[in-house]
């Protein structure tokens, strides 16, 4: 069995790591370079860096910051925010990213997934999906959760899978920052219906929530932010707990 991955996420705005609830009410959580170094040293399996206002503001991810974070890491590094074309991918890979995360640009032009997979390999392409459960089911959103689309979570995830994405990063906007657990029913449906790994995001508040998303949600990896940034859960202790629960994890 492949080891389950624990992935801290740095949501970066104006050069600082921030965290909110349901995608709003942001508060500062620290310097991304220092946090990245700390997570690498603590045994995180990967690190995700998202420039959360790049798509909304129509600018490119802060490449210099990406490079400074990458220099501190000894783990795989995924970067997203304002990735719209192959040149953006090339620029971020050259700055030290191992993978790029697409969200809004892929929804607007799904062919971008095919192009990245063809030019750089599927392993480089992570398709991030921000979705909210409403009266119509799970609806996908663009621009940091600001703009609803006509795409449903499961149809879009399957299309991204078929176009050559290497992973799906699903964030439940309903669960984001609420700390009551991940959207495990939706995650299990995703994981069971796709041929690529699924990363769970949105809702981590306790060690048990990570256990549940691996067992009930069938997730391949679990991403979290505030519980790590503010010291509520320590990664080494979380991994020891998961190991004790019979879940395969990589220990430092």
Q: Report the catalytic residues.
A: 11, 130
**Length in residues, the chain:** 252
Helices 86-95 and 111-120, packing angle to 10 deg: 50
Strand residues in the chain grouped as ranges (E)? 5-13, 16-21, 24-30, 47-51, 77-80, 99-102, 125-134, 137-142, 147-152, 167-172, 198-201, 221-224
Angle subtended at Cα 154 by Cα 117 and Cα 144, rounded to the nearest 5 degrees: 75
What one-character DSSP code corresponds to residue 250?
-
Partners of residue 140 on adjacent β-strands:
131
Residue 142 corresponds to which tokens in the numbers above?
């663009």
Q: Round to whole Å and give the CA distance between 226 and 20.
A: 8
Helix/strand/coil percent split, the chain, to 5? 40, 30, 35
Q: In sequence order, which ranges of 96-195 are alpha helices (DSSP H)?
A: 104-108, 111-120, 153-163, 184-193
């Amino acid at each position: 069995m492949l080891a389950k991955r624990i992935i801290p996420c740095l949501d970066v705005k104006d050069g600082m790591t921030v965290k909110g609830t349901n995608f709003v009410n942001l508060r500062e959580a620290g310097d991304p370079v220092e946090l990245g170094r700390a997570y690498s040293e603590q045994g995180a399996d990967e690190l995700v860096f998202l420039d959360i206002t790049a798509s909304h503001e129509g600018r490119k991810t802060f490449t210099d910051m990406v490079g400074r974070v990458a220099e501190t890491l000894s783990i795989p590094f995924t970067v997203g925010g304002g990735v719209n074309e192959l040149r953006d991918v090339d620029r971020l890979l050259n700055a030290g990213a191992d993978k790029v995360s697409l969200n809004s640009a892929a929804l607007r032009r799904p062919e971008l997934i095919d192009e990245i997979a063809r030019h750089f390999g599927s392993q480089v392409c992570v398709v991030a999906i921000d979705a909210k459960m409403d009266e119509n089911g799970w609806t996908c959103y663009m621009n940091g959760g600001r703009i609803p689309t006509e795409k449903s979570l499961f149809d879009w995830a399957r299309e991204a899978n078929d176009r050559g994405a290497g992973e799906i990063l699903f964030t439940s906007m309903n669960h984001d920052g609420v700390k009551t657990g991940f959207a495990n029913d939706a995650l299990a449906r995703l994981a069971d219906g796709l041929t690529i790994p699924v990363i769970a995001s949105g809702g981590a508040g306790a060690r048990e929530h990570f256990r549940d998303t691996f067992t009930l949600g069938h997730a391949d990896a679990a991403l979290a932010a505030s519980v790590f940034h503010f010291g509520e859960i320590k990664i080494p202790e979380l991994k020891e707990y998961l190991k004790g629960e019979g879940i395969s994890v990589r220990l430092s």
